[in-house]
Structures are given as structure tokens and as C-alpha cells.
Amino acid sequence: MLCLVSMVGASFVQTSGGDVEVKELQWETPSGHLLSALLFVPDGVSDENQAPGIVTSHGWYNNKEMQDLNFVELSRRGYVVMSIDMYGHGDSEAVKPSEWDDRGTGMYDAVELMARLPYVDKSRIGVTGHSNGARAANWSIMVDNKKDNPLISSVLLVGNDAIYKNPKTKEYFNLYGARDVGIVAAKYDEFFFRSQKPDGTVTPPREFIHTEAAQSFLRFGKSPENFNSERSSYEMYKKEINGKTTTRVIYNPTQTHPWNHFSAHVAKVTVNFFDETLGAPEPIPATNQTWQYKEFFNFLGLIGFGVFIVSLTKLLLFTQPFSDLRASQKPAPTVMRTRREKGWFWGGLVVSAIFSGVSYLALYNWSVTVRPDFFPQPYTFYVGIWAAVNGVFAILLMVLARKFTPNEQKASLKELGVSIRPKLLGKTVLLAVCVSAASFGLVFVSDYFFNTDFRIWFIAVRTFTPDKIIIALKYLPFFLIFFVANSVVVNSFNYYRNSKKEWVNTALLALFNTIGVAIVFAIQYITFFVTGHVFFENVSAIVGIWLISFLVILPVAAIISRKIFRVSMNPYLGGIIYAIIVTLISVSNTLTIS
């Protein structure tokens, strides 16, 4: 029921109650690759009543659905909006890194298609993108500058720098010509809006508006020696260029980089910028926003997706094919009686948490340098290696705990549910595959009938193209090692009575599943907000951003595996199901390299 409410509700919001038609596009572009996009066409537009068009793009490691803030708010104001999957993302074709800058990683291919639509006013086409989507916009401008009749008239760069200097002369210049250009420069952006001072120190992004680059941009490319005053953020500066009144503006919200595409403030300035530069066919105050309701319904679907996994597993355990996987009696938590048991329990949790956080940071640079071409997704390779290493560490701790526990004090592996016959293991795998397939079947139904999926901010359960199944099979062993080992730890070795309430043990294990990376996250961002610079500067700042999804994925792993274990007394079942689900989520929501 939650999933159905999610589908209907999210669809209602993104179509503005049926006033906007949503089309899913896939086409072979002049770049020679398949590009995927969502097209939002408001009611009433036609070749006699043309509307301005806006092409929008996600950032690296994301997909077109993550731009819902933009496509919901802009389409309900009468703009024709095209939200693309950049090449190598979502449902678009993967390309080689050497092709990323060709035609804006697909953005300029989308601009050309937008210009051919009969109901789009080709004199009013804008582009916007977040992070590397903004980089795609910059690259698209370079292509557009070579045309006799440029197509792009307005550009909003969110979470990435403009191109301030001529790459050849290293002098400040105006790449954008007579186009209207804006920048959303978060004060706590993890990647951009930094300048090197003469003494070699780097300015934090919260000081960006005071830098030469920002001031030159607001003066349409003038050199710093021509400045006689400082220009401000949030003010639209005008200048006549080639007979056109042209705009420059910088917005600098107190946000982080990923916060940009989940922000009512950024939605407001985006609407204001395009209303000013393109003209909204149906002006609505920028503070009147509905995209948050879509996020709410998408989140309901995400919750429903998790509930469905557990409920379907329990249901199938009561069917004839899988009934012998069901526990003959409900497992009960063990009481810790000795100091040795308490030592292994608490010591194991603390050591595992420390190892989780330390290994997360230690493995990133190594994974970047050793990744073979066989594994085409850098993110999934890194996370998979980290997961597998922590899975092996968990297995090692369990072996040591068994070895140093006296025989008279330890239960048999059969009593713990760890020992399993080959036939039952085969049925366990089959049931896990059935549950995973049925669960993703819900997502495909949502996409086919409603053009929606289940997500909240970073965490997205979406459909995928057939090639992602092959890719998932490459990474699945890494995730199996961790999630199966984690399920065994949670349910067979650490299922203790820590309180009169049984849920306290589950909550405690969910917490310790997460606390290692949570501490890393806290150190990174507390330092960032206090000093203006991230703490862990020896690795890419992307690792801090990726942690956000694990703050949800890891505790939920303990909860779902425990709920399934209580019915099956089989620690492998929940672990395998969760490994399959997380692998498919990972490979369908990141960058793939050809």
C-alpha cells in the first residue's frame, strides 16, 4: 500500500496534477551514443504557443531523476524541461573518459533536440546542472560558441565554477558572451570555489564572493586591476553586450555541495534566475514549491520497498517450496553470563567500528589506482572492496571468538543457525533471488505506469538497463562477503538480551554497524563548518559525501536481517537478499566507464 501511495502521489506532483505530460526519451545522438532523458511538456504549449526550454543535468554518480527539484518547479511554471542522464549514468550509454567533454557529456545533444521541438522557443533555451552537470553546461557553451547561431541563451551553474580565465592566455575573459549566467556557490562546497593566495594558502569556499575570480565573473570577465569596488552576491548585475542586456549573478547559500540539489533555497533562486532571464510562461512565486511533496511520496515508497522485502520473505517462508527454511521455533536472545562473553560482545563491536572507519579512508586511494577495466564502476569497486575487507574482518573476529571460548560455554554452529545443509543453502539462494526480483518488480511497475521510483536525496531504488545486471554480477561477491558475514554476526553471534526489550539489541547492533563511518563523517564536517576546510584532505572529498547513504544502508541491514532471522533462524537469507538489493542499487546509481 505504501508503494502504491508513493507511485500515485509522486506522479501527481511531478505532473502538476496532470497539467504536465512526462515522456521518457532515448535516442541516438550526433555524438553516436544513446542518451536517456525525461521530457516535461506543460499543457497548452504548441508551435503557435511556444515556451522556453531548459535542459537540466545531475552531477557525477547520479541520474536524471535526482533533478526533480528542477523539473517539478520549472515545468509547473510553463517551461519545457528536459532532464538528462549524462553519458555513463542512468540509462544512457557509457563512454570513455576521453569523450566526457565531447558535446557536454550529452547535454549539448539534448540542447539540439530541445531546439528542434516545435513547441519550444529556440531563442529562449537555458541549461543548468549540478556539480559535473554544471561542468557539462560549461562544455556545452564551448560547443555552442562555435555555432553561427548559438542555441543557449541562459546558464545557471550549480555547485561548480564558471570558466573565469582563457585556457591559453590565463587571463580573465568572458567565455559566455551575451548569455545570462548565474552561479550557485555554496559556502561549504567540498570541491569548488577555492582560490590560491600569493602565500600558497587556499581560500575556503565561504570566502568565494571576495575572490578575484568571483569579482571578475560579476564584471563580465574584467581583469582585477580594473576593479574599484566589490560586488555582492544575490544581486543581478547587468551589462549591454552585442545589443543585449546581459546578466551575471552569484548565489552563495550556507550549504554543502550535495545539499544544493535538495534545497528549497536553491529551488527558489533557480526559479528566480530563469524567470528573470527567460521569462516564465506562468509566473508563480519562487517560494511556492511542491517538489518537497514529491520527495515525501518517493520516501514513502522507499519505506514501502523495505517493508515489502521483509513481508514477502516471511510470506514465502510459509509456502510449500520454502517451508523447510522456516524456523521450527522462534529464536530467542541469549543472556550474557560471563565477563568473557561481555568482553567479546563489546570489544568486537568497538573494534569493528574502528576498523570500519579507518579502512573506509585507507582503501580509497588504493582502489582508484588498482581498479582493473573488468570493473567499470569506480564507486562500486571502492565500496565493494571496503565491504569485502570488513566482511573478512568480521569473519576473523568470529573465528577468534569461537577459538577462545571454552567448549562448555559455546553453542554449536547448528544451534546458532550457522551450520546449514547444501540443499537448504540452495533454497536460501533461490528464495533470496525471488524476493529481490519481486522487490525490484515493484520499481519497474512504478516506472512503467507512473514514471516514478523510490528515493530520498542520495538513496534511490530505480530501474536499470539489462547491462547493469552483468555489471552487478561482477560486484555481487564483494557485497555478499560483507552482508552475509554481518548478518551472521548480528543474528548468530551477537543476538543477546541487552535489556528487557528485545529491540534494544537490534538497535544497538544497528548503531554499531554505522558508528565507525558516522564518526568519520562527523570529524569531516564539524571541521569543515568550523574552519572552512575539510579534515581528511589526503582523499577526495567525495568519500565524505558517499558516507551519507551508508548512514542509512548499514543500520537498515541489521534491522532487515534480524526480522528475517526471527522467522527463519537462517542468517544467510537476510544477508544474501540485502547484498543483492544493495548491489543493484549501487550499480544503477553511479558512473559507468566504457
* 71: CB partners within 8 A, 6+ apart: 14, 38, 40, 56, 81, 83
* 141: CB partners within 8 A, 6+ apart: 152, 155, 163, 175, 176, 179
3-state class (DSSP) for residue 306: helix
Give the pLDDT score at 496. Answer: 86
Residues of the chain with CATH 3.40.50.1820: 17-289
Give the pLDDT score at 349. Answer: 95
Q: Which of 541, 331, 377, 565 is nearest to 473 (CA)?
A: 377
Give the pLDDT score at 267. Answer: 98
- Dump pLDDT digits (tens) for 30-85: 999 999 999 999 999 999 999 999 999 999 999 999 999 999 999 999 999 999 99
Location of C-alpha cell 517551461: 79
Give the pLDDT score at 411. Answer: 78
Give the pLDDT score at 417. Answer: 82
Give the pLDDT score at 498. Answer: 83
Ranges of the chain with pLDDT below 70: none
Q: Which of 557, 558, 577, 549 is nearest to 503 (CA)?
A: 558
Instruction: Report the share of the chain in percent with pLDDT over 90.
Output: 90
CATH for the 17-289 domain, from 3.40.50.620, 3.30.420.40, 3.30.200.20, 3.40.50.1820: 3.40.50.1820
Quote the DSSP letter at residue 489: I
Confirm whether pTM is higher than 0.85. Answer: yes
Give the pLDDT score at 329. Answer: 84
* 413: CB partners within 8 A, 6+ apart: 419
Long-range contacts of 193-201 (CB under 8 A, 24+ apart): 193/161
